[in-house]
Amino acid sequence: MKATFQSVNFTADVKLIDFIQGKLDKLELFNDSIINGEVYLKVVNTSSKENKEVEIKLHIPGHELVVKKLNRSFEAAADMATEALRRQLIKHKDKPRMVAS
- Residue-by-residue pLDDT tens, the chain, 101 positions: 889 999 988 888 999 999 999 999 999 998 888 899 999 999 988 788 888 999 999 999 888 999 999 999 999 999 999 999 999 988 887 766 665 55
Name which of 56, 63, 64, 15 is nearest 39 in CA terms: 56
Q: Phi then psi for 64, rounded to 5 degrees? A: -135, 120
- CATH 3.30.160.100 for domain 2-94, yes or no, is yes
Say what angle helices 14-27 and 74-94 make with each other, to 10 degrees: 20
Give the whole-angstrom CA distance, residue 60 versus residue 31. 9
Q: CB neighbours of 21 closer than 8 A, spacing ≥ 6?
A: 3
Q: What's the pTM value of the predicted model, to 2 decimals?
A: 0.86
Name the DSSP class of 41: E
